[in-house]
């Protein structure tokens, strides 16, 4: 399967579309490499545009990037729970809730009767937020949402899609994060 260009090159556990979009959005922050696409305006514009989440020629303003990062971390807080981690603290999901209140979704019916949801013209990020929220909603309805998880290694928290039969996967990668955390816990018990 060929990945869309906006999926990080190191992705080994991709979610199905359109949930892959949410996963890749969360993974614009890379804890392993200490890099954040949404900190650099030109890089953020290129990535968000390629992913269909940004519809302006200009680069995002600092406030727009700040909003995008806060929404991203809200989603990650929920993915931590999906991975068996602790529930979000009050406020952790606030940015996502606020985004849902700010955007103005509009229902459209095409000539073939297909119903779609667009965003009323607003900020250049609005349509992207609607797209992300709908992808989350659809995944919650079809049962794939619970499989999108944040890695249990607190230094990593990479979003991965758990295709395992048991749905008990906790690590983006067992060989790196899984063993690293297990060894750390083992050492703590031995002390
Ligand atoms: Zn990891």
| List of residues 6+ apart from 180 with CB closer than 8 A | 153
Peptide bond into 109 cis (omega under 30): no
In angstroms, what is the span from residue 178 Cα to ligand 1's centroid? Answer: 7
In angstroms, what is the span from residue 103 Cα to ligand 1's centroid? Answer: 32
Q: What is the pLDDT of residue 41?
A: 97
In angstroms, what is the span from residue 121 Cα to ligand 1's centroid? Answer: 38
Q: What is the pLDDT of residue 186?
A: 76
Q: Is 100 exposed, middle or buried (0-12, 13-18, 19+ CB in 10 A)?
A: middle
Longest dimension (CA), the chain: 69
Tell me the whole-structure pTM to 2 decimals: 0.93
Higher pLDDT: 84 or 189? It is: 84
Q: What is the mean pLDDT of the chain?
A: 93
Q: What is the pLDDT of residue 76?
A: 97
In angstroms, what is the span from residue 82 Cα to ligand 1's centroid? Answer: 14
What is the distance of C-alpha 75 from the center of its chain? 6
Q: Is the predicted pLDDT of residue 181 greater than 80, yes or no?
A: no
- φ/ψ of residue 103, rounded to 5: -75, 155
Mean pLDDT of 7-22: 95
In angstroms, what is the span from residue 74 Cα to ligand 1's centroid? Answer: 18
In angstroms, what is the span from residue 177 Cα to ligand 1's centroid? Answer: 5
Contact between 150 and 83 under an 8 Å Cβ cutoff? The reply is yes
Q: Is the predicted pLDDT of residue 40 greater than 90, yes or no?
A: yes
Mean pLDDT of 117-136: 93
Mean pLDDT of 36-64: 96
- Tokens found for residue 164: 């395992």
In angstroms, what is the span from residue 88 Cα to ligand 1's centroid? Answer: 19
**Residue 167 φ/ψ region, left for φ over 0, alpha for ψ in the -120 to 50 degree band, beta for the rest:** left
In angstroms, what is the span from residue 41 Cα to ligand 1's centroid? Answer: 26
% of the chain residues with pLDDT over 70: 99
CA 90/CA 60 separation, integer angstroms: 28
Q: What is the pLDDT of residue 1?
A: 67
In angstroms, what is the span from residue 54 Cα to ligand 1's centroid? Answer: 28
Q: What is the pLDDT of residues 162-175, one digit of tens each?
A: 999 999 999 999 88
Cα dihedral 182/187/188/189 (nearest 10): 90
Residue 33, SS3? coil
């Amino acid at each position: 399967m060929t990945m869309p260009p906006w999926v990080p090159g190191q992705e080994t556990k991709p979610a199905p579309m359109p949930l892959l979009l949410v996963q890749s959005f969360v993974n614009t922050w890379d804890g392993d490499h200490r890099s954040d696409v949404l900190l650099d305006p030109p890089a953020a514009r290129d990535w968000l545009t390629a992913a269909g989440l940004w519809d302006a020629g200009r680069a995002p303003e600092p406030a727009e990037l700040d909003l995008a990062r806060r929404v991203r971390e809200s989603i990650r807080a929920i993915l931590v729970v999906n991975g068996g981690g602790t529930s979000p603290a009050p406020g952790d999901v606030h940015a996502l809730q606020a985004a849902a209140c700010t955007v103005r979704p509009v229902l459209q019916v095409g000539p073939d009767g297909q119903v779609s949801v667009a965003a009323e013209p607003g900020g250049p990020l609005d349509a992207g937020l609607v797209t992300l929220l709908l992808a989350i909603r659809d995944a919650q309805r079809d049962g794939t949402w619970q499989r999108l998880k944040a890695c249990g290694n607190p230094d990593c928290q990479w979003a991965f899609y758990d295709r395992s039969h048991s749905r008990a996967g906790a690590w983006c990668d067992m060989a790196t994060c899984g063993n690293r955390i297990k060894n750390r816990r083992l050492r703590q018990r031995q002390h």
